[in-house]
Structure 1
Amino acid sequence: MRRMVLVLSSFWLLLVILSFAWNYGEAKQQQYNTAFQSARSFFQQVVLTRAWNASHGGIYVPVTDQTRPNPYLDVKNRDLIINEQLTLTKVNPAFMTRQIAELADTQQRDILIHITSLKPIRPANQATPEETLVLQQFENGLKDYGEILEQSDKPKFFYMAPLRVEKSCLSCHKEQDYNEGDIRGGISVVLPFTPGKNLLPLLFGHLAIGIAGLAGILFASRKLESAYNTIKKQSDTDFLTGLANRRVIIDKMNHGLRVAEREQTNLALLLFDLDRFKDVNDSLGHPAGDQLLQLIATELKSNLREVDTIARLGGDEFALLLEKVSDAQDAAVVANKILQIFKQNWLLKNKHEIHISASIGISLFPAHGDNPKLLMQHADSALYRAKADGRNRFDFYTQDLTTSAIQRLKLENELNKALKNNELEVYFQPLIDPYSNTIQGAEALLRWNHPRRGVVLPNIFIPVAEESGLIEQIDTWVLQKACRYGAYWLKQNNNIKTISINISGYQFHHGNFIYSLNSALQQSGFPAERLQLEITEAILMERELESSQLLDSLKEVGVQLAIDNFGTGYSCLAHLQKFPVDQIKIDPRFITQITNNNNQNQVANAIIKLGHSLGVKVLAAGVETDLQLSILQQQACDLYQGHLFSKALPASQFEKLLQENSMVTESE
C-alpha cells in the first residue's frame, strides 16, 4: 500500500509539474504574442505617419532647438524664412520618423526606435549586428521579426519590420541605385518585456492543486488501506467464529515448517471435530449449532497460547498448530487439555444445555510428514481412528492409519453402490422365552451381502455410514423393511409378538424420526404395540432432557422401548425411573462370562432384579451355552437371544424357523 501511495504521489507531482511547465510556456507565448502585436502596432503607426508625410510631399515645421533643418535633404525651398522670429524647414518622411524616435527616447526611455539600413546615409542609421542579420532575412522574404532579448536584468522585446522604397524616397536615395519597392532598410522597436509577471499566480495555483491532489491521494489511500485490511481480515478469518481459516493455517504451517527445519525443532498439527455435531443441527436447528461453534471457539481461544494458531476448517472441524514442541508428549498434553474443555456443558441462548465431546487426530513434523498436505492427511487419518475407537479421545498418526483411511474411503464408495444395487438385507434373530423355549419375537439386524467380501456385519460399515451421511437412508430403509416383514408374518398367522429394531443416535435425534416411524407403521400395517425400539444408554444420556421428551413422544405413538447394552456405562436406578422403557437388554459381555460363582453372574442377577423391581422386562443377549441359559432361568430372566437357539437369519429362513417353532409348541 505504501509503495502504491508513493507511486501515485510521484505520478501526481509529475503531472502537476508538467502542467505548470506547459501552462507557463503557454503564458510566455501569449506574452510574446502580445508584445509582438504591440510592437507591430507601434511600427504601423510610424509607417502610417510616414505615408501621410509622403502623400503631402513633406511638411514644413518651425525650426527649433529640437527640430533643426535636415542636412541630408537637398531640395529646393527646404527652408522658408517667414520673419525674423519664424523659419520653416521641410521635413521628409525619414526625418519625421527620426524625430518621432528621438521624442520617444526622450519621453519614454524604455521604448527605443531605430531607423536602419544596410546602405545608410546617416551614420546614426548604421545597423547593429542583430539588425544586419534581420535585414538580410528581409531580403530573403521575411515579413517581420520579433525576439525576446534577455541580455540584461530587464528583458526587452525586439521587433523589426522592413522599409520599402517609395516614389517619394527616390529623390533622396537615387544615388544608391534603389528602385521603387526595394527594401532599403527597416525600423526596429525595442519594448519592455516582463515574461514572469504571471509566474507567481501560476506557481501558487499549481502548488495548491498539487497539495490538494496529494491530500486526496493520502485520504483515498487511508480509505483503501482500511478497506484492504477489512477484506484481508475477512479473507483470513472464519466469518462465524472469528478464528483463522484454512488458508491462514496453511500459510502458518508453511512458515512453521521452514523454521522447524532450520532450527531442528518439532511441530504438531491437531485436527479435531465435534462428536455427533450433526445431531445438534438436526434436532435444534443450524442457528443453535452455529451458536455452539461460537461458544467453543471463544473457549478455545481463551485456553490456548497466543503463539498457537487455532483455525476452523469448516463445519465442526478445527485445526490447531503447535510450533516448537519438544516431543509427542507436549502435543498429547494440549490434546488432553482440549478434551477437558469439552467436558463442560454448553448453555445456548434458548436455554438448551448441550454436552458434546471431541475427537482429535495428531500428526508431527518431521515424523509424520514434511509438508502441510501430508500433515493434514495424516492428522485426519488419526482423527478417524480416534472416532472409530469410541470418540472423546485423541490418537497419533501411524502408518497403518493411512491404510485404514484408504479402506474406509473405498468402503464408503462401495456402500453407496450397495444401496443402489440392493445389497443390504435385514436378518432376524429370535427372542426366546427361556422356560418354554418358544419364539416371542425377533431383533432386526442389518447385513451387507458384499459381492466379494461376503456377508459384512454392521460394526464394519455403520460407522462409515454415520460419517458419510448415508445412515439416515439406511435407518429409514431398515425400519420400513422390518415393519413390512412383521405385518406379512402376522397375516400368515405367525403369532410374532415383537419386532425389535436398533435405533442409531442420528435416527433418534433427527427431527423427522417420529414422522418416519408413523409412515413405516401406516404403510406396512404393522401394529405399533408390537414394534420395539432399542436405544443405547450412551445415546439417551447424550442429551438427557431431550431424550426423555422424545421417549415420551414415542410412547404416545404406541411402540415399546428398550435400553440396549444396559450396564456398560451410565446404568443407574435414576435413569430407569426417568425413562419410560419397557425392557432392558443386558450387554452380551456380562453373559458370555457368567458361571455359577463369579462377578459377572452377580452383575447379571443385579440387573434382572433391578428391572423386575421397576416392572421392566429383562432380556439377556449373547447366550451361547446351556450353562448360561440355566443360570438365567434361575435368576428369572424374561427373554434371551443368542447362538444357543439360533444365529441371525435371512427373513425367509427365519420365517421357516418361526413356523417350525409354532408347530412344536402346538404339538406340546
Structure 2
Amino acid sequence: MPLSGWLFVFALLLAVPAQASIAASLSTTPVSILLLSFITGIIVAGAAATWRLQQLRASQNAQQKVIRQLLHDTRALVAVLDQDCQMLVASSALEHLTEQQNLCQSMYFDPAAKKKAWQDIQQVLQQQRSWQGEVWWQLQNDLLAVSLTITQSDNTAWPAARYLLVAQDITERKRADQQQLNNLTRDPLTSLPNRIMLEEQLATNIACCTNQHPATALLLIKFNQLLGSEPNASGQSSANLIAEAAKGLRQAIAPQFTLGRYSSDSFAILAAPHLCALPVELPLNQLAHQVLIQINQFNFSRNQHQVYASIGISRFPEDGADASALIHSAERAVQIAGRSGTSQFCFADNRLQQHATEYLTLQTELSKSLHQDDFMVYFQPQLSISSNRVVGYEALLRWHNPKRGIMQPHSFLALAEQSGMIVALDRLVFRQCCQQVQYWLQTNQLRGRIALNISVQQFEQANFVGFFSDTLQDYKLQASYFTLELDERIFQQPLANLHQQLKALNDLGFDLVLDNFGDGVSSLTSLRQLPLHGVKIARSLIQQMEQKEQQRNITASLIRLAGYLQLEVTASGIDNEMQAYLLHVMGCDKLQGNLFSKAVPASEIPALLLKESKLIKKAAS
C-alpha cells in the first residue's frame, strides 16, 4: 500500500476514540448526532475509495504483466506505443530489430524517394482509428518491408498506451516480386530495360511532351557482330561482348538518358523531352557522335573481327505519332546507316541528316575559332526613357567566321550550348568587356553599365563566382561597371543554392537582372526572395504587343509587378516607335533595339554618342 494509504488508515484508527468522546459529550443534542454521522460517513467513504483505487492499480499491474509476458513469449512483431510513438513494450523479436528506435518516424512508403508514411497514416487513424497497409522500415542495419496494422488503443488498464502495432516481415516476398518483375522487364545478361520496357518508356516520353518540350527521340544502335553462341578464336563469347558493349554505352551517355537492350545485337537510347532542346537535331547529333566514338574505343582487341555499329534516329512527332511508328522509323534509318558504311548514323528525316553533317562541320569550325580569336564583342546601347540618353550597353557576341563571314549569335549559340563551348564563349565575352571598360575609363567615354548574358552552363560551373572575382582583380576593375543578365532557366535550380550564388555576385557589386521575364517559369517567390535589381521583358511579348491586346495587358501587368517589387524594367527588341511609345506609357525604365541603334563595334560608340548629343541639343532648341 502507498504511504498515503497507510497514513489515511492510521488517521482513521486514531479518530475512533475521539468519535466516542465526542458522541458522549454531544449525545444530548440532535444536531450533534447528525454532525457525528456526517463525519463518520466521510471517513468510511474515503476508506472505500482508497480500497477501490488499490484494487484498480493492482488490476492494471496484473494486466500489464500479462501483456508483457505475452509479448515476451511471442515471435510476432508487436509493440505498444505511447502518443510520441515511443515503444512502451515490444515483443523480443521487434526489440531485437529496432533497438528502441522510433518506429513510426522510420516508416516510408518509398525509401528511395524518402517519402515518410507516418503523417498520412495518422490522418487515417484520426478518421477510422485503424490503418493497414505495406511500408518500409529503415532500421539501423537493414531496410525491412512489412505488412503493418496500427490501431488506436483505449485500454484503461494502460492509460499511456496510444497505439497497438502489429507487423509481418514481407521483405523476402517483396524481393521475390521485384525479381519476377525484373525478369519480365529487364534483360538478364545486362540488367538493362528490355524491349517491352523500352516501348513503355517511349510511350511515356511521348505523353510527357509539352509546348515547352515538344520533342522526344529514339536512337537505335545495331552492332555488326555480337551474335554467336560459340566462343570466338580468342575465347570470347557473344555474352562477354554484349556485356562489354552495355558497359561502354552506359559510360558514353549521361545518366539522364534511358539505355536498354532492344534485341540480341542492338541497343536503344531514349531521349526524354527535356533532353531534346530545340533545334532537336543538335543534341541528337552530339549524342550519336559520342556513342560512335565510345564504340570505336571499346576494348574488343581480343576479338578476331572488328566490331562496329550503325545508329538510326527517329523523333516525335515528325517521324511517328506513337511508340510503334517511332521504332519502325528508327529501324529503317539504322538499315540506311548500315549500308552507308561502318560507324555511321542516320536520321529518319532526310532533312535532319543534311543538317547533322552541317552542324558537325560548324562545330569543328567553332572549336577552331575559339583558339584563333575569331570572336568580337559588339555593344547595343540601352536608353533611359526619362532622359533619352544612353545609360548602358548590352554585350553581344559576333563570330567572324573565316569561311562564312560575320555570324549572329542565333546561328551558333545553340550549337555552343550543346557542345559545352558556351562556357568558354561567356568567359571570352567578359574578358573583352573588361578590356573595353578599361579603355573607356581612361578616355572618359564609359556610359553606364555593360550587360552580359549568363548561360545555365556558365552558372553551374564550380568556380563561377570565383572566375568573375579573379578576372576583375586581373583588370583592376569593380563589379559595379557590369550587369549580369541571367538566363531564365537558371531560376529552376534549388532555391538555396541559387540564393547563395546570387548573393555572392551581389556582394561583389554586380547588378543582377532576370532575362526573358514573362516567357518562362520564374515565380513571384523567386522575385521577392532573390537579390535581383531588375528584369528584362521577353522579346516574344514585345514583338506581338501592337497586334494583340492580350500581349499588351500581360506586358503592362509585368511592368507594374516589377515596379511594386522595386525592380528596374528593361525592354529589348524595340523595332518601331509604337512599341517604344506603348512601353513608355506602361512605365518601362530602359529601352533597347534597332529603332535606336543596332549592336556596333566599340570603335563606333563615340560616333553614336555624338549623334545622341546632337539630337538632344536639337530637341532642346
> TM-score, normalised on structure 1?
0.46
**In terms of Rg, which structure is larger?**
1
